[in-house]
Structure 1
Amino acid sequence: MSDSPRDRRRVYVKHLRGLEKALRSENRSAATEARRSLAHLRYGLVEGKQHQASVVAFRRGQPQDSEEKKVWLLLGGLFALHPLNWANPPGPRSLGSSLGRLQKKLGSSRVERRLSALLAMDRDSLPHHLRQTVRLLSSHDVPVHYEQLLDDLVVLLGRNHRGDLASDVRLRWASEYSMPVSAETPQDSPDFPETTE
């Protein structure tokens, strides 16, 4: 089995999806443990307390790069705020597509303003705006494709956050925002299979 950075990210997101599944479990012990783990992951969003999230975030492994470790902690915190994963959507997968789905649901110009703000944020400001965005998506039960978001954040918050790859991520978010998406959520449709990495 390969141990590439991308493979490690997949294992991490699979671990997070396992928490989501346990949270909905009828097994009270599993659901309680999942709630406890999600509470620890939320510390990944609190400056100076990220180490408390690392116990859960790095349980199945961790990235070798210290910058990427911070991204994993941020993503774990975002997932803990809104553990509704958009598993293998057909077509667009970015945060822009989730915001596009929200726009179609609400018909509000505030969603487009939120996307514009995200696209304009620098590396230091982006995490705060991501928290607000994920909370907004959570309040309307719009799923997030966390595996894609992790890959995107590794670029946007990494060493080359001003390079061509970061521009490509922002362009994809903007273009996928306007693409048509299904009105179904993963729970509504059996056509959203779980990944089995």
Structure 2
Amino acid sequence: MSEDFIGWLEKLKGQKAWTRARAVLRRSLAFDPGTYPPAMPFVEPWVREEGWPREAHYLVAALYALLDGAHVEGRTLARALREAREGRGSESLERRFLALLDADRDQLPHRLRQAAGLLEGGVDFAQLLRDLRSWFHPDRWVQARWAREFCGA
């Protein structure tokens, strides 16, 4: 299902409607995920569940627009942030990444937007959607995998 949603965004990116869609989805980052009505026609057809899975779809769509649809299969957000840290030699990037790993439901959209703003190039948005859908699992396995990828293990 994640691949279908991202595939649809990829198709939309190649159309004339992308300019408006991109602006609407980027603007949606200023609101709680799923609460900005102009973004709903772009996301709701792909939502199958309520609650956090729905919000995750809105977040990924907005981040996709923020990064102008730079989908790079296999490049996770953690790996992209590690590359940014290595390229800049920035300790503050590591602090931001750790804050992202510890983010709760209210903080996560803001921290993700900050992280995406630090990237050069794209990420695997289908993987990002899968990861975000499991973000609040009690075992925190997504955060553990991201930590390993960021630290270069």
Normalised-by-shorter TM-score class: 0.7 to 0.9
Number of paired residues? 150
Q: Judge conservation of contact 2:63–2:116 (CA < 8 Å) in 1.
A: yes
Instruction: Give the letter aligned to residue 132 of structure 1.
Output: Q
SS in 1 for 2:134: helix
Between the aligned partners of 1:151 and 1:14, the Cα distance in structure 2 is: 14
Kindly, what percent of the aligned residue pairs are identical? Answer: 31
Q: Judge conservation of contact 1:94–1:172 (CA < 8 Å) in 2.
A: no
- Cα displacement (A) at 1:10: 1.5
- Cα displacement (A) at 1:162: 5.3
- Cα displacement (A) at 1:97: 0.8
Matched residue, 1:67: 52
Matched residue, 1:120: 102
Which has the higher relative contact order, 1 or 2, with Cα contacts under 8 A spaced 6 or more apart? 2
Between the aligned partners of 1:44 and 1:152, the Cα distance in structure 2 is: 20
Between the aligned partners of 1:33 and 1:134, the Cα distance in structure 2 is: 23
Long gaps (5+) in structure 1: 1-6, 23-29, 181-197
- Cα displacement (A) at 1:42: 2.2
- Cα displacement (A) at 1:178: 2.4
Matched residue, 2:113: 131
- 1:16-165 equivalences in 2 (<5 Å): 16-20=9-13, 22=14, 30=15, 32-47=16-31, 49-59=35-45, 61-82=46-67, 83-87=69-73, 89=74, 93-137=75-119, 141-156=120-135, 161=136, 163-164=138-139
Between the aligned partners of 1:70 and 1:116, the Cα distance in structure 2 is: 22
RMSD between aligned residues? 2.0
Long gaps (5+) in structure 2: none
* Max Rg structure: 1
Deviation digits for residues 125-148 of structure 1 (CA, Å, limit 9, x no counterpart): 1111111111111xxx23211111
Between the aligned partners of 1:103 and 1:142, the Cα distance in structure 2 is: 14
Deviation digits for residues 129-174 of structure 1 (CA, Å, limit 9, x no counterpart): 111111111xxx2321111110111122xxxx2501xx11001111
Structure 2 residue 153 is the aligned partner of structure 1 residue 177 = no
Between the aligned partners of 2:88 and 2:76, the Cα distance in structure 1 is: 19
- Cα displacement (A) at 1:62: 2.4
Higher helix share: 2
Instruction: Give the letter aligned to residue 12 of structure 1.
Output: F
Between the aligned partners of 2:59 and 2:126, the Cα distance in structure 1 is: 13
Change in CA separation of 1:72 and 1:45 when aligned onto 2, cut-off 3 Å: same
- Cα displacement (A) at 1:70: 1.6
